[in-house]
Structure 1
């Protein structure tokens, strides 16, 4: 209802008819590989057929080569990749692990699974880790580990992050779930820390429904990760692995957690690696096209992307100015956009919805020890995002921007209390 005429005002006109949750199909080569495996029936993560190489072992070698790292381990999901990397890096019960406050629930979940205690690090207005707070908490927390989460594909100044970790003797594990093929200043994410962890969930750069990959140059971490993933004593079947002598140091003291990637998942993924660079170019085009349109909407603010950030965007984030919409109006904006075909997630919503939650929703974390993150609280209260499927055309981008523009105008004009 407008403040002037007392009539409830709703959007009319433009509607986006697509489904932002719909991915591109799996490439035919991946489908053929999956069908071949189903016909063969050898779906278990290891085989006793000495004349063939498991699909997961082939994928590991190919992804290690792509990343320029010595070793790679395929696992069930990005979340269990984080858990295994943390455990293999030496995280023990009660160890404090630094993590930036803007991330998704599987990240602190992996820390908890490994027995660690998350210590939240603040973020800045670019949605990345605040370097001053990282330096401060690295010095004061007693943490020996950093789980660096490139949430939604936003990459901080990694030269500075590496320097801070080196100065405080902190081991960094990278959460690269949203940055496969992305990097900083020409260097791929997943190569800055002791290990890098990737996701093959449907909404990421490659799609097998679910799956994870760990890369590292550390032979002991790699051997422990292979054993943790559930290799039994069949670790020799891995190709991107350290020497068998390294496994002798760990095979009797490392538990089997049964998290190994299946051959079916690996077979679906292998053909997609060849398309990775082209996909990321297409995603950047979509992102830049939409960013240009959204930049003209009053009250909608996009983060600055530094020239050194080689981002690989599978989604779009923006903040809504409190001067333009209050919280009630922001909730109406979300509803209006959704009703017109653009499903926007709001990190500031009172309750977690779908995949979206924030640190104060993770009540298994000890808030008194997790650390204060006032800027993250401010930023997340106004932060929105939505998916960018690869099939979006320039016309689709224009339509999405028009829907969001109208939704903001409608929410801004309405006196919500009278329309309730």
Structure 2
């Protein structure tokens, strides 16, 4: 059984390092900040307890002549400039509050309502502190975290968000750089291949001319076929030379282009594969294409279809008009089909289900259609055991 492989699927060390750094920094910051928050929260609670005791002393001092105590407790009460707190006396009345600013236009009744609402919110955050003012009477101090502590609470999450965003940007930048590097490699490889083919092709053409010069010794039908294959090599060389350059698009009769190429290809694939072309396009329908590159697209898809059918089956090419001045070319085989999870993966560089090959055929086909012809190439449908349909969509204007 053949196994799929992807020459680009191995994890990159740099990606792992970036991800680990983001994770370690984020986790360390979260733990350290939580530790600071807990310490600051304990400190604020202790301060509020001091605030509560000061109120108790202040209330009790009103029954004595302890002026010094009143001065000290009053200074402690005023020293709280950060922690929102409300003191409710034993009668349930709001007797004192700190660090809560009601709108200036509020009436006393609206201020009272404002503070009562704050008490409800504070009770959800912290249990009130009991103020024992003597004679069995007790008041309550409600409080919540200071603004600084609240900001510090949200800080680790903001930091994690920033680190995550930076990690994503780093990943995208690295992926873009890798794709650019891959493109440069492919372009260089394609042009070098075209260059290397030049010498043997020149030699083959010379041999063809030599064989034509002596028709009595060499069967000219064989010579004709060799010449066709040499011309085919010239076409392949021209295709490779076009990679990385902006191709020239010309108005071509798309039906004729497809039909002529299928006629050529059908003689060079398995005789057990039946190929057919059906066109529902208006006669003479033209589309701007680069003929050499577009034939390469058809060839790559058809050869993949033949492999999927293991050289036995039916291959149908159907051309239909679409709305918005578009034309669709459907290439349908009767092969083994493609699973849903692999429908997008088939266009990934290096993906292949064959023991031989680099898995670049469909990748190049998609690039030619979408980048050079401003069209679309995708898997229209596929069913296990019944076959697959690839669709090419081109603009007719």
What TM-score, normalized by structure 2, do the two folds share?
0.23
Whichever structure has more strand as a proportion of its residues is 2
What TM-score, normalized by structure 1, do the two folds share?
0.22
Q: Does 1 or 2 have the higher relative contact order (CA < 8 Å, sep 6+)? A: 1
Q: Please identify the structure whose Cα radius of gyration is greater.
A: 2
